[in-house]
Amino acid sequence: MQCDYFDRGVCRSCTLMGQPYADQVLDKEIRTRELLHDAVEAAGGPGAVEWLPAITSPESAYRNKAKMVVGGSVQHPTVGILDHRQRGVDLQHCGICTPGIQRALPVLARFIADAGLIPYDVAARRGELKFVLVTESPDGELMVRFVLRSEGQLPRLREHLAALRSVLPEAVVVTANLLPEHKAVTEGDREVLLTEQATLPMRMGDVTMHLRPQSFFQTNTVVAARLYEQATAWIDEVDPASMWDLYCGVGGFALHAARPGLAVTGIETSREAVRSAGQSAREAGLTDVRFAADDATEHALRARPDAVPELVVVNPPRRGIGVTLADWLEASSVDHVVYSSCNPVTLAKDLARMPSFRLDRVRVLDMFPQTGHLEAVTVLSRR
């Protein structure tokens, strides 16, 4: 992939830009194998673990969510990142964003100017509009979120909303997020819905997930579909009667694995995500699937012995599942674990804490082309 922003030194976020894509994927596979070396040896050596071929991605136009810093001035806003002096750098035509987002960003930049929204000046700590967050669904619909310092510009947003939707009809969900603090986060706790529609349907095959603001969804829709497909195939092979989906987000693994005779519980700290997952389950008529807002580790520690499932799916953030949950799984009656990881370093550490489980299969998924990040999904069985 070629990127003018990278070539000019304007943006270096995609650290592997310019490296042949096949080499990127091979390097990620090699790194994952090296990090999981001890787990492979504990399973009986390289021949005892099945390494499936890596799942690749389109090299460009894959990212379904753009988190854009708003800088510049009211008349000439920038939508992109900040440079080392905290000045706005415009990335309206970022090539890793999906086509719908690439079309939307220039429209949103013009809207900011036309509506008179005041970009936030990080260095001076003044102004109002901090970020524009845009998510595209597989069907081309958009969720647009304006992150504001205060409610001061809400009237302008409401006043100009009809004009925005006339030129960007794909924007079916529009919100204002309030982030009054000056700190290095992307969004605040309070969300103001500006449209009648509150969720963005993310249709993946036979499963439709509802995405609300402040809910996590995999960044790469194409590869996410393959991830859920792979995990579901492994779950079907095990054929458990009960399953937990920990760190479930909007319910991707749970909703894909759901079938008659399988009792599924999804656990996620985000209440908005749990609301989304519950809505998806109800619309699909899934009566054996339930979701709850809770901490994954606390949920496990409180579980009665007769409530422990046969299989657990974990999809933690980069820090991994951690010592306490790994120790609980090691001591539990759980027979199988499907572990989806965005950080093979913490994956390796967590596997080392669970010697009673054997690493059976591993698959690398290139969820983040042009960067060093990757996803790895594994299935473990109790020895």
What three-state secondary structure class fits 170?
coil
Q: Which of 3, 94, 97, 342 does the annotation list as catalytic?
A: 342
Report which of 277, 322, 276, 259 is spatially closest to residue 295, judged by C-alpha positions: 322
In this structure, the strands spanning 357-365 and 50-55 are parallel
What three-state secondary structure class fits 42?
helix
Q: What are phi and psi of 253, to 5 degrees?
A: -70, -45
CB 276 within 8 A of CB 283: no
Q: 94 an active-site residue?
A: no
Please classify residue 347 by burial: count the beta carbons closer than 10 Å to its beta carbon, then call 0-12 exposed, 13-18 middle and 19+ buried. Answer: buried
User: What span, in angstroms and rounded, lies between the C-alpha atoms of 32 and 146?
Assistant: 37
What three-state secondary structure class fits 265?
strand
Report which of 142, 171, 176, 170 is spatially closest to residue 156, judged by C-alpha positions: 176
Report which of 252, 237, 235, 242 is spatially closest to residue 338, judged by C-alpha positions: 235
Q: What is the DSSP string of 224-243?
A: HHHHHHHHHHHHHHH--SEE
User: Would you give the distance in Å from CA 143 to the centre of its chain?
Assistant: 15
Active-site residues: which are they? 342
